[in-house]
Amino acid sequence: MTRRRYDESDVRSRPNPRGSRPRTKQRPEHAEAQPALITQVDRGRYTLLVLPETPQEQVVVAMKARELGRERLVCGDRVEVVGDTTGRPGSLARIVRLTERRTLLRRTADDTDPVERVIVANADQLVIVTALADPEPRTRMIDRCVVAAYDAGMSALLCLTKADLADPAELVAMYQPIGVEVVVTSRTEGAGAVLGLDEVRSHLVGRTSVLVGHSGVGKSTLVNALVPRADRATGVVNLVTGRGRHTSSSAVALRLPAHDGWVIDTPGVRSFGLAHVQVDSLLAAFGDLAEVATRECPRGCTHAADAPDCALDAWVLQGEDPTTTAAREARVDSMRRLLTARNGADTP
């Protein structure tokens, strides 16, 4: 028996020892990519509305293309998508590009943990849903939501529910001076309808609104009334803890019935860690105060109540008449309250 000769073909060669494909820094162009809106994210699967607001609009499930790397995509993101965009059962498209975000609602896990989490992109306003009773309102929590909204470049709307159980006057007076608009809703015994809904709707027209609120405040009740097909599960408040059951799941964008805006329900978001918020971005939400502070405050001024030579104190005293002075004082006090909320923990 002759021995087979050992030759080159026996040597398994791998031209690129680090991988099976040559690497390139060039990204594919994807000229055929279609615009889409992310309406829900669930464990790496994205529900999209491809070509939104056009006759070809289509609900499609997609995954993120590798080339997007570790970039987190969230509800409200505008993206571009390729592949199977038929939306047929089992089809999977590929998100290849993220469009620049207009606003970005973020939070840190808590105030000492600097890891930022993006919650929702491109929303216009944060609707802070708070019950006037059952569970009791927590102003610290509201303040923190306002800070998160202002930092995101969004406006804030305070929606006070359960006005059939308690008077909203005190909270209304507290939030109006800081530019937070307030709407009040209630429900009468036996009647299924939510009173005050038309006013809530008038604030949502043509905008994308993110709804946040603690469990049991009536957020699902509100969402179901606004978007009748949404079918967000409503829980029952536990009489012992005052908390509701966590009946809803992940953040989802829901279109208002007349196609005149979106609401994004965020069941998992019940508080905001604010370690990422810079004093300046909070101050910027108070145009009049920011102007004074930029012009006259000493460098590195914290603008807090105990800050030496903070120009905001002098500005209050310079009010032309008692009414102006009182209004200025209320603005500065409120801004400082938010600064404190940014620094402190969320306490009941």
Ligand X SMILES: Nc1nc2c(ncn2[C@@H]2O[C@H](COP(=O)(O)OP(=O)(O)OP(=O)(O)O)[C@@H](O)[C@H]2O)c(=O)[nH]1
When binding is defined by CB under 6 A, the residue of 185, 266, 271, 334 that contacts ligand X is 185
When binding is defined by CB under 6 A, the residue of 218, 271, 310, 339 that contacts ligand X is 218
When binding is defined by CB under 6 A, the residue of 40, 186, 250, 325 that contacts ligand X is 186
When binding is defined by CB under 6 A, the residue of 155, 248, 266, 271 that contacts ligand X is 248
Token pair 């060039």: residue: 26
Are 162 and 213 in contact by the 8 Å Cβ rule? The answer is no
164 part of the interface to ligand X, by CB under 6 A:
yes
**Residue 53, by phi and psi: left (phi above 0), alpha (psi -120 to 50) or beta?**
left
225 part of the interface to ligand X, by CB under 6 A:
no
- In the bound state with ligand X, the residue whose beta carbon lies nearer, of 61 and 253, is 253
Cβ-defined contacts of 276-280 (< 8 Å, 24+):
276/106, 276/107, 276/108, 276/114, 276/116, 276/151, 277/147, 277/148, 277/151, 277/342, 278/151, 279/303, 279/339, 279/342
271 part of the interface to ligand X, by CB under 6 A:
no
When binding is defined by CB under 6 A, the residue of 94, 187, 255, 276 that contacts ligand X is 187
- In the bound state with ligand X, the residue whose beta carbon lies nearer, of 60 and 263, is 263
Q: Answer yes or no: is 242 a known binding residue.
A: no
Label the pairing between strands 194-195 and 155-161.
Answer: unpaired
Q: How far is the CB of 184 from ligand X (least distance, A)?
A: 10
The number of angstroms, rounded, from the C-alpha of 97 to the middle of its chain's C-alpha atoms is 21
Q: Answer yes or no: is 215 a known binding residue.
A: yes
Q: Of 179, 228, 178, whose CA–CA distance to 201 is shortest?
A: 228
SS3 254: strand
161 part of the interface to ligand X, by CB under 6 A:
yes
Label the pairing between strands 45-50 and 58-64.
Answer: antiparallel
179 part of the interface to ligand X, by CB under 6 A:
no
- In the bound state with ligand X, the residue whose beta carbon lies nearer, of 168 and 244, is 244
- In the bound state with ligand X, the residue whose beta carbon lies nearer, of 219 and 336, is 219
Q: How far is the CB of 230 from ligand X (least distance, A)?
A: 11
254 part of the interface to ligand X, by CB under 6 A:
no
Q: Of 86, 47, 94, 45, whose CA–CA distance to 67 is shortest?
A: 94
SS3 307: coil
Residues 6+ apart with CB under 8 A from 215: 235, 243, 244, 245, 246, 270
Are 268 and 251 in contact by the 8 Å Cβ rule? The answer is yes
Q: Of 42, 38, 41, 64, whose CA–CA distance to 50 is shortest?
A: 38
Q: How far apart are CA 180 and CA 288, in angstroms?
A: 15
238 part of the interface to ligand X, by CB under 6 A:
no
* Options 45-53, 56-64, 200-208, 212-220: segment touching ligand X (CB under 6 A): 212-220
Q: How far apart are CA 306 and CA 138, in angstroms?
A: 25
Q: How far is the CB of 111 from ligand X (least distance, A)?
A: 24
267 part of the interface to ligand X, by CB under 6 A:
yes
Q: Of 348, 161, 166, whose CA–CA distance to 270 is shortest?
A: 348
- In the bound state with ligand X, the residue whose beta carbon lies nearer, of 91 and 247, is 247
135 part of the interface to ligand X, by CB under 6 A:
no
142 part of the interface to ligand X, by CB under 6 A:
no
* Options 3-11, 166-174, 211-219, 282-290: segment touching ligand X (CB under 6 A): 211-219
* Options 136-144, 214-222, 285-293, 305-313: segment touching ligand X (CB under 6 A): 214-222
165 part of the interface to ligand X, by CB under 6 A:
yes
Q: Answer yes or no: is 218 a known binding residue.
A: yes
Binding-site sequence positions for GTP: 161-164, 213-221
Q: Which residues are annotated as a binding site?
A: 161-164, 213-221
- Residues of the shown chain interacting with ligand X in the complex, contacts defined by CB under 6 A: 161-162, 164-165, 185-187, 213, 215-221, 234-237, 244-248, 267
